[in-house]
Structure 1
Amino acid sequence: MSEVEWRRKWKPDLKACPWQPITIVHQLYLFKCKYTHSSYELLITDNVNFWFEQLEGEDLEERTVALNPSVKATPTRILDEIQICLENQSNKTRLSVSPKKSKLVINVDSEMAGMAFVWQFQCETADHEMISDNFNVPLLGMVGELTRRNKELVKVIEAKDKEIDDYKSQGAKTSRKHIETAVFVSTAFENNMIMSKEFEQEVKQLGSSGFSEDNQDLYRQIMTRYAYLMRPEAADSTEESMEDKKTTPSVNSWETNRFPASLTGRSPVKSANNSPQKSPTKGSSSTESSPAKDSELLRRQALERKLEDEERKKSEPKKKKKKLAF
C-alpha cells in the first residue's frame, strides 16, 4: 500500500497531535488534545510533570450535567466549546489550576451562547510510555530533522556564494551597495547566533516558541510519517491481496468473452433454465441431418476460418515492426 492510500485510511491518534503552549495563572504549560464527536484525550505538562485525562460517552455527559445543569447541548457542541477555551482563549475565558497529590485539576470559566459555561479537567499522572511516545521521541525526531535542514541550507548558501563570485569575476556588480552580502562562513554564523540577544530571549522563553505554527506542522508531519513506517506489515499485505482478488480478472473469463467457443476449444455454457431437447416425433425429419443445418454449419466454419486469418494478419505486421525496431 502506498503512503497516499495509507494516509486516506489512517485515523490520527493523540501522538500525531502537536504540542501547544498555554499560560495558566502566569505559569507556562504545554498541552495536546485529541477530540472526537463524543470524547477527548488531554495530555499536559509543565516540563517537569505530565498529566493525562480521557473522557468519553456517558462520563462526558454526566460531567456536563453536573457542572452545567442549565445548559442543554450535544456532546459535540460541548467539545467544540472546550476546544475554543483551550486553543482560542478570549477575555471571557478564565483558567485556574488546583494541584493535588497525583492530580492536576484545571478549572475553566467561560460563556457559551451568552450563558455561563464551566468545565473541569481532572488529569491523572501520565505513565512513562505515554511520555516517551508523545514527548521524548517526537522532539528528538524534530531536532534531527531541523539539523538536517540546517545542513542543507548551508550547502545552498555556499552554492549561491560560488554563483555570485562567478558573476563578479565577469564584471557584474549590484545596482545598490547596501544589498551586497558578505561570503557566508558557517562557524562565524553559529558564533553570532549564540552571542545575539535573540538567543538569550529564546533561552528565557524555553518551551514557548518551540511549538510555533511551523514547528507544529513539522511535528505533525514527523509523527504521521513515523506511524506509516511503523505500521504492521502483515495487515498491509493482507489488504493488497484482497484488492488483487477483486480487481484481477481470471484468464478463463477473459478468453471466453474475447473469442467464440469454436476458437477457445470450449463448448458453450448452457443455461441452467434450458430444458433438455425432446426427441423428434414420428414423421418429422431430424434437424441434425437437414440441409439447412449442414449449410449453417459450413457457414460458421467459414466464418471461424476468416476470423483466424484476420487475427494472423494482424499479428504478422507487429512482429515485423519489432524486428525493424531492433
Structure 2
Amino acid sequence: MSSEVEWRRKWKPTLTAYPWQPIKIHGTVYMIKYKFTPNSYELLLTDLKHFWYEELADNKLQKRVKKLNPGIEAPLTRILDQVKSVLDKTQEDPNTAIKISFQTEDGGQDVRVLMSLTSQLAGLPFSWNFHCLPAEQHMGSEHLTLPLMAMVSELSRRQRELFQVIQAKDKQIDDYKGQGAKVSRKHIETTKFVETAFEMSMMTSQGFEDQMRNFELDTFNSRGQDLYRQIMTKHAWVHSPTKGMKSDDDSLLDDMSSSEDKKRSTGDSWGNSRLPPSLQQSRSPNKTPSPNKTPSSAKTSNNATPESSPVKGHDSELLRRQALERRLEEEEAKKMEKARKKKKIAF
C-alpha cells in the first residue's frame, strides 16, 4: 500500500494547496495566494466577490522584467525572489508599497486588475506589475469555498475531540480530589467543564463580537494558513489515484506480516498454531496416541522426535522469510537502477 509519507515526499503541490493571505489596500481587504518556481509564478486575487488570476513564465516573464526594470541585470530567479519577498511582507507590514487599479476593455464588461509593487533591489528602485484577468468560475470554489467548508468541518471535529479530553481531565481531577488531593494555589483551581455553558458563554462574549468585525483578516492568520495547508494536502492524498494501489513488494510484505500476525494471535507455541503439512501427521498434541502404535512409531525418518520436529519447521519458516526479504531488497535495487536510467534519459 502506498504510504502517505512516501506520497508526500513525491507530491508536487499545485496552487490549490497554497494558503490565502489577507492584504489590506486603501481600506479594502483582499485575499491573495501565489506559487513561485525558478522561472514562473501563478497568482490568484479576490475581493471575496470576484477572482482574478495571472500565470507568467519563461519568455513572457523575461520581457516584462526588461520592460519594467531595464537598468537591472539579475538572474530570473533573483527577480522572482524579490517579487515574492515583497508579497510575503504584506502580512507583516500593511504599509508595503502595493497599489491596485481596475481596468476594463473598451465596450467590455470584464474587469482586469493591475497590481503594482515597488521596492528596492540591490539599492536600485524595483517595480513589478501583475496583470490579472478574471479567473475561471470553478477557481473560486476550488480555492476558497470548498476549502473553507472543509476547514469548518475539521475544526468542529477537533472541537469535539477537545471536549472529550477536557471531560476526561475533569474525571481525573475528581479522582484526585476523592483521594484527598488539593490544589496548592486556590486561583488555579478550575470549575467542571459543561459543554452547554461553554457554548452560551462564547455566544455572549465580547470576543465573539470582535471576531465578526475582523474575520476577513483573522481567518487566514498563521494558524488558519497552516490548517489550510493541512486540509488541502490531506484532500490531495485522499483523492490521489495512487492511494490504495499495491505493488509486488507490498503484497509480499502483507503475506509476511499476516503470517506473523497469525503467530502472535495464537501464541508462540506450536501446539496452539497450525502446523505445516509435513508436521501434521507426525504430531497431534490434542489427540491420544493410537493403541496400535508404539511411541517409537511417532519418530520421523530422520529419527527426530515430535518435540524436535516443530523446531526444524520453525527454522524453515525463518529461512523462507529471509528469502522473501532478500527478494524484496533485490527488486528494490532493480527499481532504483531503472529510475536512475530514466533520469539520465530524461536529462
Among 308, 316, 319, the residue aligned to 2:309: 319
User: What corresponds to 1:293 in structure 2?
Assistant: none
Note closer, same or farther for the CA distance 1:231–1:318 as it changes in structure 2 (3 Å cut): farther
Among 210, 221, 225, the residue aligned to 1:201: 210
User: What corresponds to 2:35 in structure 1?
Assistant: 34
Note closer, same or farther for the CA distance 1:170–1:91 as it changes in structure 2 (3 Å cut): closer
Two-structure CA RMSD over aligned residues (Å): 2.8
Contact 2:103 2:112 in 1 (8 A): yes
The 3-state SS of whatever aligns with 2:237 is: helix
Task: Please report how far the alpha carbon of residue 236 of structure 1 lies from its aligned counterpart in structure 2 after TM superposition.
Answer: 5.2
Gaps of 5+ in 1: 245-311
Contact 2:20 2:220 in 1 (8 A): yes
Task: Please report how far the alpha carbon of residue 6 of structure 1 lies from its aligned counterpart in structure 2 after TM superposition.
Answer: 1.1
1:174 has 2:175 as partner = no
Note closer, same or farther for the CA distance 1:196–1:242 as it changes in structure 2 (3 Å cut): same
Matches within 5 A, 1:101-180: 101=104, 102-180=111-189
The 3-state SS of whatever aligns with 1:130 is: helix
Of 84-93 and 126-135, the range deviating more from structure 2: 84-93
1:96 has 2:99 as partner = yes
Cα distance in structure 2, aligned partners of 1:130 and 1:225? 19
Note closer, same or farther for the CA distance 1:157–1:320 as it changes in structure 2 (3 Å cut): closer
Task: Please report how far the alpha carbon of residue 92 of structure 1 lies from its aligned counterpart in structure 2 after TM superposition.
Answer: 8.5
Task: Please report how far the alpha carbon of residue 25 of structure 1 lies from its aligned counterpart in structure 2 after TM superposition.
Answer: 2.0
- Moved >3 Å (runs of 4+): 89-93, 233-237, 240-244
Among 185, 194, 216, the residue aligned to 1:185: 194
Of 199-208 and 86-95, the range deviating more from structure 2: 86-95
Note closer, same or farther for the CA distance 1:318–1:205 as it changes in structure 2 (3 Å cut): farther
1:210 has 2:239 as partner = no
Instruction: Map Cα deviations across residues 238-292 of structure 1 (whole Å, 9 max, x no partner).
Output: xx36999xxxxxxxxxxxxxxxxxxxxxxxxxxxxxxxxxxxxxxxxxxxxxxxx
Note closer, same or farther for the CA distance 1:318–1:108 as it changes in structure 2 (3 Å cut): farther
User: What corresponds to 2:50 in structure 1?
Assistant: 49
Contact 1:92 1:110 in 2 (8 A): no
Note closer, same or farther for the CA distance 1:35–1:242 as it changes in structure 2 (3 Å cut): farther
Among 236, 240, 249, the residue aligned to 1:227: 236
User: What corresponds to 1:309 in structure 2?
Assistant: none
Letter in 1 for 2:230: Q
Number of equivalent positions: 256
